[in-house]
Structure 1
Amino acid sequence: MSYAVLESELDHLSSNNSLDSILSDSKSLLSGLKSLEKQLASSTSKTKDSDLPQKTKQLISNFEEKTLKNEKSINKSIKGYSSKIDKLFTTDLTTIYKYDRVEIKDNACNKALLDRAVTMELLRNGRFNIIDLYQEDRAFVVPAELTDKFKKLSSMLSAIREDNDFAPAIGWATTNSKNLKMIGSNLEFNLHKFQYMKLMDTNKSEPYTPFDYAKQNFSKFAGTHLDLISSLLLKLAQSKPEEKKLYTDINLDDLTDQFNHDYCKLMGLSATNSPIFNTLLASFQSIQHFIKYNKIASANLNWTTINELPFEIDLPDDLKFHSIFICPIIKEETTKLNPPMVLPCHHIISKDSVIRLSKNNLTTFKCPYCPTTTTSSHAVECTFISI
């Protein structure tokens, strides 16, 4: 799949202005018809109105001619785009990924994991009515406590997006203030900041309401956000009533995204998206590598390492969920079967390297990085944690 070709075709298709021309011509036709209507309404002479049918016919005829030409142009562009895009996606997807498929039907553990993944996707998107049907169909019970937490999240997000009501979210953030600080979040301050800007924008004639709100709620953040607080208060003092548009000019998407992120993080869940969404997103970004490998692979090029792909996939940071350690000895990424091991001298190598250096755990060996001599029994499996 050539993303350069795809991007080029998208640019070519989007550069066609035929639809814009049709819309413009439609407005011109409507304007012309209204003008003729006014002439007809204001006219009193029959001879003066005799050319109106001809003018109307000519106006419509010109519109149809231009529209037909523009329709042919856009249809040609769409046909060309579809033809070239189809050539990019002729690969049989069933031949791309040749690894073992996960059995679901007869494996209770895998079935439970799938049910959980589907449930989390539905909960995160607020599809609570579908969850009820899913539980009934799959004989799967979603803990009521978990459902209630996501219903509360959905309710608070709806209040912000639909009603510009920050009170429920501020109440939750205040209750969880200590936990939010522990994860380094400034969500509580941001909620108060947005509420302040809303009050400032809706009380243009007098500054006392937003000032009182700032005095009551900003003092606890003075140690970390003093500069921004000062700027907001200065804006209140300097701006004329008609210039106070802090709130109406902002986008709430970043705030709701942060709220969703921190709420899920405090629940011990993935702070960004559901497992199914992340899996599909990673698949979409990596499929080009599988297609390319599939094209160049031959009968003599078979990859037999189950726990490692034959190529590198550079996924973005938000799709990386665990630490990666590449053994400096064998230059391979560690796996569950070949975990990183810590030597007494605190240097880290893979388990396979320990076995190789100790000649199958039979002799002592020297650390590859320092003079320390040790045995395989003194090597301890290493676990990386997020700090």
Structure 2
Amino acid sequence: MELKSIKDAFDRVANKQKLSYTKTNEIVQMVSQEIDKALSILKDSSSPYPTPLDHRSILAGVKKTFAENSPVNQLEAAEKELNVALTKYPKVLEKQLNTDIAKAYRNNVEFDTHIVNQIIANFFYRQGMFDIGDCFVAETGESECSTRKSFLEMHQILEAMKRRDLAPALNWAISNSEKLKQARSDLEMKLHSLHFLEIAQDQNSQEAIIYARKHFERFLESFPETQKLVCSLLWNRNLEKSPYSEFLSPALWNNAARELTRQYCNLLGESSESPLSITVTAGTQTLPVLLKYMNVMANKKLDWQSMEQLPVAVELSEEFQFHSVFVCPVSKEQSSDENPPMMMSCGHVLCKQTINKMSKNGSKSSFKCPYCPTDVDISRCRQLHF
């Protein structure tokens, strides 16, 4: 998919639209000014009773101006250029966007409808769209999604944070304090910091100090941060012009909300991002590559349905890399359970099948490493586990 071609075509349409608008506005302004000018001359005539000849001469002058400028023709020309660009744009889309994706998916895969429905319902609840999720569950005849109640609690906490009400978030963080420590999350400290700043901004420094003494002592690993928070009280009435103005940034609240969402999902046994969103987004990156490959290889009669792995390399963004992957530098094949990565005595790593080929299926006890002058002893090769 050539996104650049689509973007260029879109930009041409957008530019033509702007030019057409500007030209149309100029012409309308010109016509309006000429009419206003003629009306002004008629009203300001020195004679209280202008003769018909005066009227005709004024109107003739306006008509002559319009004939010379030809506003209608100018409007038609501007619209014509825009229409040409608009007509070409769908053709570019049709050429670049292949709507037939049948070649890029397998038709011999059996889907578990129940699991798919649960994933979709889970997506709605995760996004806070509970009415839509309930409607979907009811229409599909599925049992209630097990995560609904938990995501409802999470969104109630997040909604309270939007109202600058930290009580629900703090209660949840305190009740899950040990689990958050095991996950090495500083969420509880972030929430206490925000609450401290809320108290301080109400011009109640003494109450803020009492709160800090009560809650900050447990976070010794965050001492530099708590020290800055307490020192900010010295600038309490002018914090925005102080060295601690960062504490007024809305980013602190946004970061705390994201961390709460991540840790809540983590303790729930869910990923921080919706599996459905990740699948669809990753698919949009993969699909164009597969479609192009299948079109090129259409005459090769390859059995796409029986392949164990993708026939072509697909580069996904880092956010879609959840597991370590090793590709043999010699065979260029991805490791698998049957063909695991093996570390040789010299420290270099090859896949097991590559080592077998280089040792001629074990008939040779040693072979030379392809990346260094070391003689590799087969018996000393060890399998790696990522």
| Partner SS for 2:4 | helix
1:229 aligns with 2:226: yes
> Quick one: structure 1 residues 349 and 198, their matched pair in 2 at CA, closer, same or farther if it must change by over 3 Å?
same
> Quick one: structure 1 residues 235 and 268, their matched pair in 2 at CA, closer, same or farther if it must change by over 3 Å?
same
The offset of 1:211, in angstroms, is 2.9
- Which residue type is aligned with residue 207 of structure 2? T
Q: In the TM superposition, what are the counterparts of 1:159-198 in structure 2 within 5 Å? A: 159-161=160-162, 163-198=163-198
Q: Give me the whole-angstrom Cα distance separating, in 1, the residues matched to 2:189 and 2:12.
A: 45
Q: Give me the whole-angstrom Cα distance separating, in 2, the residues matched to 1:10 and 1:341.
A: 47
Number of residues of Structure 1 aligned to a counterpart in Structure 2: 328
Q: Give me the whole-angstrom Cα distance separating, in 1, the residues matched to 2:14 and 2:5.
A: 14
> Of 89, 113, 116, which aligns to 2:115?
113
> Of 104, 109, 131, which aligns to 1:102?
109
The offset of 1:309, in angstroms, is 2.5
Are the equivalent residues in 2 in contact too, given 1:124–1:274 (CA < 8 A)? yes
Aligned equivalent of 2:130:
128
Q: Give me the whole-angstrom Cα distance separating, in 2, the residues matched to 1:188 and 1:331.
A: 46
| Partner SS for 2:336 | coil
Are the equivalent residues in 2 in contact too, given 1:358–1:364 (CA < 8 A)? yes
Aligned equivalent of 2:288:
288
Are the equivalent residues in 1 in contact too, given 2:187–2:259 (CA < 8 A)? yes
1:344-368 Cα distance to aligned partner (Å, 9 max, x none): 96976545446656767x8675477
Q: Give me the whole-angstrom Cα distance separating, in 1, the residues matched to 2:226 and 2:92.
A: 52
Q: Give me the whole-angstrom Cα distance separating, in 2, the residues matched to 1:19 and 1:367.
A: 73
- Which residue type is aligned with residue 240 of structure 1? R
1:372 aligns with 2:377: yes
The offset of 1:171, in angstroms, is 1.7
Q: In the TM superposition, what are the counterparts of 1:65-76 in structure 2 within 5 Å? A: none
> Quick one: structure 1 residues 100 and 365, their matched pair in 2 at CA, closer, same or farther if it must change by over 3 Å?
farther
What 5-or-longer segments of structure 1 have no aligned partner?
A: 26-64, 105-109
The offset of 1:237, in angstroms, is 0.5
The offset of 1:7, in angstroms, is 3.8
What 5-or-longer segments of structure 2 have no aligned partner?
A: 27-70, 370-374
Aligned equivalent of 2:276:
276
Are the equivalent residues in 1 in contact too, given 2:13–2:89 (CA < 8 A)? no
The offset of 1:249, in angstroms, is 4.0
Q: Give me the whole-angstrom Cα distance separating, in 1, the residues matched to 2:235 and 2:119.
A: 52
1:275-306 Cα distance to aligned partner (Å, 9 max, x none): 11111000112233234334544524847682
The offset of 1:266, in angstroms, is 2.2
Aligned equivalent of 1:91:
98
1:59-83 Cα distance to aligned partner (Å, 9 max, x none): xxxxxx9xxx8x9699769837843
Are the equivalent residues in 1 in contact too, given 2:6–2:93 (CA < 8 A)? no
1:170-211 Cα distance to aligned partner (Å, 9 max, x none): 22122222322322322222222222233333x1x4422333
| Partner SS for 1:260 | helix
Are the equivalent residues in 2 in contact too, given 1:342–1:348 (CA < 8 A)? yes
Aligned equivalent of 2:215:
217
> Quick one: structure 1 residues 303 and 268, their matched pair in 2 at CA, closer, same or farther if it must change by over 3 Å?
same
The offset of 1:372, in angstroms, is 3.0
Q: In the TM superposition, what are the counterparts of 1:1-387 in structure 2 within 5 Å? A: 1-9=1-9, 79=86, 82-83=89-90, 86-87=93-94, 89-104=96-111, 110-142=112-144, 144=146, 146-161=147-162, 163-201=163-201, 203=202, 205-223=203-221, 225-241=222-238, 243=240, 249-251=249-251, 252-271=253-272, 273-300=273-300, 302=302, 306-336=307-337, 338-340=338-340, 342=342, 349-353=350-354, 356=357, 365-366=365-366, 371-374=376-379, 383-384=385-386
Are the equivalent residues in 1 in contact too, given 2:20–2:82 (CA < 8 A)? no
Are the equivalent residues in 2 in contact too, given 1:357–1:365 (CA < 8 A)? no
Q: Give me the whole-angstrom Cα distance separating, in 2, the residues matched to 1:292 and 1:344.
A: 38
Structure with greater proportional helix content: 2
Q: Give me the whole-angstrom Cα distance separating, in 2, the residues matched to 1:214 and 1:76.
A: 66
- Which residue type is aligned with residue 333 of structure 1? Q
The offset of 1:311, in angstroms, is 3.0
> Quick one: structure 1 residues 134 and 276, their matched pair in 2 at CA, closer, same or farther if it must change by over 3 Å?
same
- Which residue type is aligned with residue 124 of structure 2? L
Moved more, 89-98 or 294-303: 294-303
Aligned equivalent of 2:372:
none
Moved more, 133-142 or 206-215: 133-142
The offset of 1:97, in angstroms, is 0.6
> Quick one: structure 1 residues 343 and 154, their matched pair in 2 at CA, closer, same or farther if it must change by over 3 Å?
same
Normalising to structure 1: TM-score of the pair? Answer: 0.67
> Quick one: structure 1 residues 13 and 219, their matched pair in 2 at CA, closer, same or farther if it must change by over 3 Å?
farther
> Quick one: structure 1 residues 242 and 258, their matched pair in 2 at CA, closer, same or farther if it must change by over 3 Å?
closer
Aligned equivalent of 1:56:
none
Identity of aligned residues (%): 20
CA RMSD of aligned residues (A): 4.4
Q: Give me the whole-angstrom Cα distance separating, in 2, the residues matched to 1:265 and 1:20.
A: 52
